[in-house]
Amino acid sequence: MDGDPASIPGPSVLCVGHVNWDVTLIVDRLPAPDGEVKIRRRHQAGGGSAANVAAVLAGLDLDASLFGSVGADESGALAGRELSSAGVRTHLVEADGETAVKYLIVDADGEVMVLSNEGANEAFTAEDLPSGALTADTDHLHVTNQPPAVAAALAERAREVGATVSVAPGRQFAERDFTEALSLADLVFCNRREAAALLDEDADGATSYGALRADATLVVTHGGDGSEAHDRAAGRTYTHDGFDADVVDTTGAGDAFAAGFLAARLGGTGPERALAVANACGAIAAGEVGARVEITRDRIESVLDAADDGGTV
């Protein structure tokens, strides 16, 4: 049934990108230079954009798998076990050195400051992917922030086996050249800042989509102000205002959004309703501490129902 999250079937999705271990510190406010604040709460869990998306997809009963890399340490083992327990099939390269650990400092408004080590979350190549992980049985490939050459090589392999492709370049979009991967994508996720780096508007107000395919869909998130989907094949733009939410921690909200949109679209839901499902997932994620939040069909329906009643998530 179109638009009903509970009816979303379970296509096969391979996610590729970062696998991290997150340490979240909750504070009243972010410290000023030479300042000091007290830690109100400490939380540890898995993170990394690709891993976050895969975990949400698995929670929505999709066949989710993950390709990435970790270090040969306790953090890597913890990340792998947590993903397996979430129902994600993992293809993790174990590299020398430490697993990427992110230290996230979150203030009372849910705003996030991130500190990270170098980590081993990009210690993989396209050749490291097992031969049986991306086949004609794979419905979709979702690639997130990683070396652009790896993203492009895997996107090309996905198109060769008939899988659709989505790209979420992430924070380093302006610093990395994802042109080739973007040219192979059916669907691209970005926020307002990333969209500004991608789109050009001429003197007559016409928008250029850069490397994007003529039939690609560009989905732009606006934080608490909702989202929009530019369906270039249909020549239409869909918008959704988002949901009123009590924000606790915005870490992973964008990943939850992407997973919700993918689950809905792969299940046959139209773009407009998919935005509503995606925004519901983002609101749920923003209402709890950490990037790895349990998102189920029932929780999505509750958010949609509450919005219909004028309630707050």
Active site residues: 255
CA 281-285-289 angle, to 5 degrees, is 170
DSSP class of residue 311 equals: -
- Measuring CA to CA, how many Å separate 156 from each of 66, 134, 166, 201? 17, 11, 12, 29
**Would you call 304 helix, strand, or coil by DSSP?**
helix
CA distance 175 to 95: 25
Residue 28 DSSP SS3:
coil
Q: Which of 103, 95, 101, 140 is nearest to 122 (CA)?
A: 95
DSSP state string for 200-232: EE-TTSPEE-TT--TT-EEEEE-GGG-EEEEET
